[in-house]
Amino acid sequence: MSYARPHAGVQPVTHLWRKIPVSDLGFSSPTRLEDGKLSIDIDELTGLLQSDPNVREARLAIARPGESVRIIPVKDVIEPRLSLIPGVPVFPGVFSAWNPDVDGIASGEIVSLSGMVVTTVGSIVGFQEGLIDMSGPGARYSLFSGKLHLVLDVTVREGMGRHDHERTVRLAGLKASNYIAGSVMKHPPRTDIRETLVNPESPGSPASPGRAGGKGKPRIAYLYMLQSQGLLHDTYYCGVDVKTMPPRRILPTEALFGAILSGNCVSACDKNTTYHHQNNPILLDLLRRHGTDLEFAGCVITNENVTLGDKQRSSTLAAELVASLVPDGVIISKEGFGNPDADLMMNCSKIEAHGIKTVLLTDEFAGQAGASQSLVDTHPKADAIVSTGNANEVTVLPPMEKVIGDDRVITTLAGGSSKSRLPDGSIAIELQALIGSTNQLGFERLSSRFK
């Protein structure tokens, strides 16, 4: 069963998204949610995490919005979720064998704990990790400053290689998320927010007759570029590293139950954490507006490659797959900067060659004065671009009363330098070092303008 291409007459896949609000965190037994407060059995969760022979120690901490707390160096941020879809686990393909092309996806419920996240830290793996400030000027650059954080500070066994280190901490975060969501749903609270999301039908069906051509609602597709350059720059789709995959169409709501996972250490500012994938605002906005002021033609995921030949092949396949959706326009988002700029421009130019308009989302690395070339590549057809901000802009962050993790790495993070520490204890650092500050899915409030 190829669930990614529904046929005419087939009932579309519909997902009920239940969001259970969490208003506070604490440690006590058993793990439960009462009157909005999530209590976590610290011994039980710590024992679960340390059952992995690669984990030497796991320390748990809590950070709340407005507190004088810095979390560093951040590996990933995850929103606890539970899939109630028959036969489809949350984070499919990670903890259980699951093939999307064989097993398929049925309609069903997805439950998330809204307002809190699981955040992983530990000794640095790659220099392109970052920080989250829960208060002060740094907080305004990250949506995560407004979340309740259960922070896992994971120490791995000695002598472990960088890739195994990253994988161990990544899995620890996913295990903790599964544990929390599963524990809460043993006695689910009555208070929740419910939203129904209907996946778009395929082109050629009665609901999708083809391009609007100036009549009816415009058909919009989404090309979702995923970081996959290796060297700790990896993203996973249903447990598979996407650098091994050709472009493919997915059900847009797959992201809701964790089909796309972060496993990368690209610069913190434009890294898509797992939370970003779970709550991709482009996908959600297109789903919510489908059938009202636009027709959502569908979503294609594609990788970001290293070699020129791979970029050319992947962009050609992606453009053909997007064109098969018969859209009037396409939104393209990317992850990372520099090398992926070439993938972005190839995707743009080849889709435009099919007579389809594109809009690109990208951040800029324009130098601290904002006067340098923003992207390493461009194309005449890339004439509709939404900027998510200049990652080289410098901000000064005051010292925090508490650090979860290790702030000694600040001077070695991408965006920091040996001159970052100021005499009064503050740090002068580029936005590049702040998790999600210039996120290219449009989460934050930054942009750029011509003067």
Catalytic residues: 265
In angstroms, rounded to a whole number, what is the distance separating the alpha carbons of residues 314 and 302?
7
What is the chain's alpha carbon radius of gyration, rounded to the nearest angstrom? 21
Q: Are strands 219-226 and 427-430 parallel, antiparallel or unpaired?
A: unpaired
- Peptide bond between residue 73 and the one before it cis (omega within 30 degrees of 0): yes
Phi, psi (rounded to 5 degrees) for 174: -70, -40
Rounded to whole angstroms, what are the CA distances from 80 to 35, 63, 73, 121, 203? 18, 16, 21, 17, 34
Beta-carbon contacts of 313 under 8 Å, excluding residues fewer than 6 positions away, are none
Count the alpha carbons within 13 Å of 67 in the hemisphere toward its beta carbon.
16
**What sign for the dihedral angle of Cα 183, 187, 191, 192?**
positive
Count of CB atoms situated within 10 Å of the CB of 36: 13
**What sign for the dihedral angle of Cα 208, 211, 216, 221?**
positive
In angstroms, rounded to a whole number, what is the distance separating the alpha carbons of residues 38 and 16?
23
For 191-206, b where at least 16 C-beta lie within 10 A, e where not — what string? eeeeeebbbbbbbeee
In angstroms, rounded to a whole number, what is the distance separating the alpha carbons of residues 24 and 29?
15
